[in-house]
Amino acid sequence: VSFEERDNVQIQDVDGERFCFYGNQVGGHFCLVKPAPESTRIVVKPNGPSESPDEIELPPQSVVLKPLDQNEHKFYKEILEQAPAFASHMAQLYGTKTLSHRQVSAMTAEVDKILAKEEDNFLETRMRSHQYRTYIVLQDLASSMKKPRIMDLKMGFKQRSQRHSLRKRERCRMKATSSTSHFLGFRICGIQREDRFFDKYWGRKMPLADMHAVLSEFFVPPDVSADDRHRILKGFVEKLQGMRGMVSSLGGWRFWSTSLLFLFDEQDLGAQPEVKMIDFAHCARVQSDTPDEEMLCSLWNIETFLQ
């Protein structure tokens, strides 16, 4: 570590920037990162025009950090330029953040303590080998929830990407064919409830016949009143309809391998539920005036389950 970097680390530490792995992650291939509970600030390089400030300071518990993928970062900028209204259907992007080697090493050093509190963690290998330093800084959708219920649905009848090799494409095809993706256009990639956690491997193996019961159990907590049940489902359906309308207006965009993240607070059922589209690393523009019919069909199928 150079003297310059060492001094920078000391300044960051004095200013209260500490980081840990995100506790509400239910899916994904890479570990999300969160300012530690004792953090007092996080300074971010903002997205925006050249006249934007060099950095902005954000409340640390309102954000989550995701390893930077240049394609995903580019998608955020381009979609908001063409369709600003799409912002309401995804987590807000605040900017980017680069951590020091020391900050990353401090996170991986805590993995054994994290795993000692859990029976299993699908991200164990990823946490131990985590070396990412540069991140996009996103809105933490669960930050205000006391008892969050979270579900990640991987969208599409088959996951695809212009960047995939032939071998990778075949693996994606086989995963989809052997899961509910093939029939419904979505599969469960993770569920977090207070009492249980289900990971993407469980979701990939889940039989089609079980989907209705699993979704019902997620969206309707035990002992919920009829009014609360109606409010939760109505809130999600309205947001899905808005998202479907937005996607239908975007000719040429393909939302390949994205997910939908569903969240609501089991301790405050009167609060507004959230559903956002996430994971844009494989989205693409194609030479077509038509919208993403596959995504539209997948959204419609989810709505059907909720109605």
Distance of CA 178 to the CA centre of its chain: 23
pLDDT for res 4: 38
Residues 124 and 194 in one domain: no
Residues 129 and 218 in one domain: no
Contacts of 218 (CB under 8 A, 6+ apart): 149, 151, 191, 193, 262
> Which of 111, 139, 167 is the C-terminal boundary of a domain?
139
Do 171 and 62 share a structural domain? no
Boundary residue ending a domain (109, 139, 169) = 139
For residue 197, how many other CB atoms are within 10 A of its CB?
17
Q: Are residues 24 and 167 in the same domain?
A: no
Supply the range of the domain harboring residue 291: 148-306
Query: Are residues 118 and 161 part of one domain?
Result: no
Say yes or no: 87 and 10 in one domain: yes
Q: Is 222 in the same domain as 290?
A: yes
Q: Are strands 134-139 and 253-254 parallel, antiparallel or unpaired?
A: unpaired
Same domain, 225 and 289: yes
Q: Which helix (H) or strand (E) segment is 95 a member of?
A: strand 93-98
CATH number for the domain harbouring residue 204: 3.30.470.160
Residue 7's pLDDT is 36
The DSSP-derived string for the chain is --HHHHHHHHHHHHTT--EEE-TT--S-SS--EEE-TT---EEEEE-S-TTS-S-EEE-GGGEEEEE--HHHHHHHHHHHHH-GGGGGGBPPEEEEEE--HHHHHHHHTTHHHHHHT-S--TTHHHHHT----EEEEEE-TTTT-SSEEEEEEEESSS---TT--HHHHHHHHHHHHTSTHHHHSEEEEEEE-SS-EE-HHHHHH--GGGHHHHHHHHHS-TT--HHHHHHHHHHHHHHHHHHHHHHHT-TTEE-TT-EEEEEEETT-TTSPPEEEEE--TT-EE-S-SS--HHHHHHHHHHHHHH-
Sign of CA dihedral 155, 159, 160, 164: positive
Check residue 84 and give its pLDDT. 95
Task: Give me the tens of pLDDT residue by residue for the chain, a chain 307 residues long.
Answer: 333 333 333 334 435 688 999 989 998 878 899 999 988 889 999 986 655 678 999 999 999 999 999 999 999 999 999 999 999 999 999 999 999 999 988 888 888 777 777 666 777 777 887 888 999 999 999 999 999 999 999 999 877 666 666 776 677 677 778 789 999 999 999 999 877 889 999 999 999 999 999 999 999 888 889 999 999 999 999 999 999 999 999 999 999 999 999 999 999 998 999 999 999 999 999 999 999 999 999 999 999 999 8
Residue 83 φ/ψ, nearest 5 degrees: -140, 80
Please tell me whether residues 173 and 297 are part of one structural domain. Answer: yes
Q: Note the pLDDT of residue 50.
A: 58
Residues 263 and 150: their CA atoms lie apart, in Å, by: 5
Q: Could you report the per-residue pLDDT of 32-72, keeping only the tens digit for each?
A: 999 999 888 899 999 866 556 789 999 999 999 999 999 99
- Say which residue the tokens 């709505």 belong to: 303
**pLDDT digits over 135-176, tens only?**
999 999 999 999 999 999 999 987 766 666 677 667 767 777
pLDDT for the residue numbered 170: 72
pLDDT at 111: 82
The tally of domains found in the chain comes to 2
Element (H, E) at 107: helix 101-108
- The radius of gyration computed from the CA coordinates of the chain, to the nearest angstrom, equals 20
Q: Indicate the residue among 76, 105, 139 that finishes a domain.
A: 139
Whether 152 and 229 map to the same domain: the answer is yes
**Looking at the structure, do residues 109 and 172 belong to the same domain, yes or no?**
no
Q: What is the pLDDT of residue 164?
A: 62
Residues 257 and 126 in one domain: no
At residue 69, the pLDDT reads 94
